[in-house]
């Protein structure tokens, strides 16, 4: 009983009792099943290695959100809800709590139940709990349609750098020794005081180690930094990606 492998068909092969060496009766049943594809997306700088990061999902089904325990799922090469059939690259199972792990680039075909089944797919553990990653939405819920559904959860690399350039207009920047003071606040209006380092950088991105050209945003500075940076660029390090920040110039001398 052979045919094209399809995640949309659950195949059951039964051999009837009473057969002989010469005659056997085998029944092949193909039962349609809609597919829920799970895909992990990551947003990170190009130089960040994400190949070893694993994320743990949990699949809950039905009105009571019961874990889909010890259930088969497929690794496939694409998510198809257009009638096409993806290629199976492997098979595994959820654990007793309906959990499984997934990496960037992997696409998993899950089988929550018949058309109309309620499902909730949630990211619950793994790399998302570390300082490397965060997500703005860790849960996808819905009702399984006939052609299947795709659930994508994106994680963002948590720590990113912010660059600020100071321009002046009425003199050469090399002649300007004026110090300028800036205050950095988060999206809730609170000063950034978590110990984020800042430093002036050159065109190649090299950070300065000269006195007065680097420092830390901490409680003592109340989220401010001061430097003579006319015509220069400053890098503020390790801010949380995906959040809004405000940089306000609060002191700039009488001539500016």
Residue 216 clears pLDDT 80, i.e. is over it? yes
DSSP letter (8 states) at residue 241: T
Q: Choose the weakest-confidence range: 21-35, 43-57, 155-169, 198-212.
A: 21-35
- Judge contact between 191 and 185, C-beta under 8 A: yes
Query: Would you place residue 36 in the very low, low, confident or very high pLDDT band (cuts 50, 70, 90)?
Result: very high
Confidence (pLDDT) at 79: 94
Reported as a single tens digit per residue, the pLDDT across 17-26 is: 777 777 888 8
Residue 29 clears pLDDT 80, i.e. is over it? no
CA 100 to CA 234: how far, in whole Å? 43
Interval 74-98 mean pLDDT: 93
Reported as a single tens digit per residue, the pLDDT across 96-151 is: 999 999 999 899 999 999 999 999 999 987 655 556 788 888 999 999 999 999 99
Confidence (pLDDT) at 131: 65
Tell me the two tokens of residue 77: 């090469």
Helices (H), the chain: none
């Amino acid at each position: 009983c052979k045919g094209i492998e399809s995640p949309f068909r659950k195949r059951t092969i039964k051999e009837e009792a009473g057969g002989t060496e010469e005659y056997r009766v085998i029944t092949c049943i193909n039962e349609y099943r809609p597919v829920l594809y799970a895909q992990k997306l990551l947003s990170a700088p190009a130089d960040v290695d994400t190949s070893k990061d694993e994320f743990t999902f949990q699949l809950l089904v039905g009105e009571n959100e019961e874990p889909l325990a010890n259930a088969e799922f497929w690794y496939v090469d694409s998510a198809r809800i257009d009638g096409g059939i993806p290629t199976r690259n492997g098979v595994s199972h959820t654990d007793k709590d309906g959990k499984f792990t997934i990496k960037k680039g992997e696409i998993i075909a899950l089988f929550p139940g018949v058309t109309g089944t309620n499902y909730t797919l949630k990211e619950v553990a793994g790399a998302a709990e570390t300082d490397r990653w965060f997500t703005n939405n860790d849960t996808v819920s819905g009702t399984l349609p006939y052609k299947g559904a795709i659930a994508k959860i994106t994680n963002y690399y948590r720590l990113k750098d912010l660059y600020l350039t100071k321009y002046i207009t009425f003199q050469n920047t090399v002649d300007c020794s004026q110090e300028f003071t800036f205050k950095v606040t988060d999206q809730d209006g609170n000063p950034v005081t978590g110990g984020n380092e800042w430093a002036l950088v050159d065109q190649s991105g090299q950070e300065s180690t000269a006195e007065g050209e680097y420092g830390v945003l901490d409680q003592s500075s109340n989220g401010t930094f001061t430097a003579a940076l006319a015509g220069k660029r400053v890098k503020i390090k390790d801010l949380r990606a995906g959040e809004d920040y405000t940089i306000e110039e609060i002191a700039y001398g009488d001539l500016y």
